[in-house]
Amino acid sequence: MSVGTAAPTVCWGVFRETEHSPGRVDDDAAILRETGKRLEEIADVTVRFLDPASISEPGGALPSLIVAMCEAEAALQALHAWERRGVGVVNGTASVSNAHRERAAALLEGVVPVPEGLVVDGAAPLPRGPREDALYAACWVKQATGHKTSDGSVAFASGTKAVRAALDRLRSRGVPRALVQRHVEGDWVKFYGVGGGPKDPSLDGGATWFEWFYPKERPVAGHPFEAGALRAVARRSAGLLGLEVWGGDAIVTAAGEILVIDVNSFPSFALYREEAARRIAAHLGARLRQRTRVAV
C-alpha cells in the first residue's frame, strides 16, 4: 500500500530560520539551493523551496521528500505532522531535537568520548560540590535548548561567578537551561558528514562522506591524531542522534585523544559547498529510490 497519494515529482526544501543562523543566512540558503539543483539533475523531481513559516498542515498531495534545515519548535512540529503521514524528512524531526545539547549530552555520554558536562537550570542556584567546582574552574556555558541563535550563546567561563553571569545572560535572552562543559586544551577541528541515520538509507554499503578541517578562528598546535579515528567517532555520534546530514566540532589533545564537543544538524558546509551538495543530493536520491520500492 502506498504511504499516500503523493505527487511523485515534488520535494520540499525548507530553509533555516534567520534566528538560528547568525552570520550564516546566505551560506545556509546556498547549500540548500545547490542541493536542490543537484537533486533535480539526478532524479525526476522538482524541488520547491519554503520558509519555515510556510510549512502547511498535511492535506492533499504529499511531497515525495522534505529536506529541512529548520530548527525552531513550531517548524519541527509542523514537519512531524508530515512524518506521521509517511513523508520522509531529512533530517528527521527527532534527530534535530536530539542534536539540542541537553539531549545530545545524555545520548553521547559514555558511548563516545566527550568532555564532562552538566545541564544547569539558569533559574536555580548553581549546583555546588567538588565535582561541580572542578568543572566550573574552566568551562564553556552553552545554550542547552537548540543550537546557537545569537552571539553569546556559547561563552567561556572560569569560576563560579563567571558561570553564574553566563547563565544570567542566557536567561535574559529567554534561554532557560545551559550545558556547562569542561574546557579541553587542544586543537579545535570541525567535521562534516553525509549519510547514516536510523535506517542507513545511503544504499552504498553504508559509506558516509566525511571531511574535517581546522577553523581559522583559533591557532593550531598540530597535535597528531588518526583521521580514521575522528571519522569513526563523528559517524558514531551522528548515528546516535539519528542524523543523516551533519556536522560538528571536536578537540584533539596533545596526547592525540579526540573529544566531541558539539554535533549539529545540516550545517552550511561553506568550505565544501559544491561537493557537499552533490553528496547530499546522492543521499536524497537513494532515499527517494528506497521510498519508491516500499510504496507498493
Is 90 exceeded by the pLDDT of residue 113?
yes
Instruction: Give me the chain's average pLDDT, please.
Output: 90
Sign of CA dihedral 88, 91, 93, 94: positive
CATH number corresponding to 116-182: 3.30.1490
pLDDT of residue 153: 87
Residue 60: the pLDDT is 67
Q: Which of 1-10, 22-31, 101-110 has the lowest mean pLDDT?
A: 1-10
62 falls in which pLDDT band (50, 70, 90)?
confident
- Portion of the chain with pLDDT greater than 70, in percent: 89
The answer to whether the beta carbons of residues 11 and 47 sit under 8 Å apart is: yes
Question: 27 in helix, strand or coil?
Answer: helix
pLDDT at 56: 79
What is the per-residue DSSP string for 125-140?
PPP-SHHHHHHHTSEE
Q: What is the pLDDT of residues 211-264, one digit of tens each?
A: 999 999 899 999 999 999 999 999 999 999 999 999 999 999 999 999 999 999
Predicted pLDDT at 188: 98
Instruction: Work out the pLDDT band at 2, boundaries 50, 70, 90.
Output: very low
Cell numbers at 73, concatenated: 519548535
Q: What is the pLDDT of residue 8?
A: 52
Least confident range from 5-14, 18-27, 68-77, 270-279: namely 5-14
The residue with greater pLDDT, 62 or 232, is 232
The one-letter amino acid at 167: L
Average confidence (pLDDT) over 133-144: 97
Fold (topology level) of 10-91: Rossmann fold (3.40.50)
Residue 89: its pLDDT value, please? 97
The region, left, alpha or beta by phi > 0 then psi within -120 to 50, assigned to residue 154 is: beta
Neighbour order of strands in the sheet with 65-68: 46-50, 10-14, 65-68, 88-90
Alpha-carbon dihedral 180, 185, 190, 194, rounded to 10 degrees: -70
Question: Which residues sit opposite 258 in a β-bridge?
Answer: 252
Of residues 6 and 270, more confidently modeled:
270
For the chain, the structural domain boundaries read 10-91, 116-182, 187-265
More confident residue, 92 or 56: 92
User: What tens digit of pLDDT does each residue of 162-204 get?
Assistant: 999 999 999 999 999 999 999 999 999 999 999 976 554 443 4
Q: Is pLDDT at 1 greater than 70 in this prediction?
A: no
pLDDT value at 206 more than 90: no
User: Residue 198's pLDDT is what?
Assistant: 52
Q: What does the pLDDT average to over 43-53?
A: 94
Question: What is the separation, in whole angstroms, between the first and last Cα of the chain?
Answer: 5
Q: CB-hemisphere CA count at 13 Å for 118?
A: 18
pLDDT at 295 (0 to 100): 45
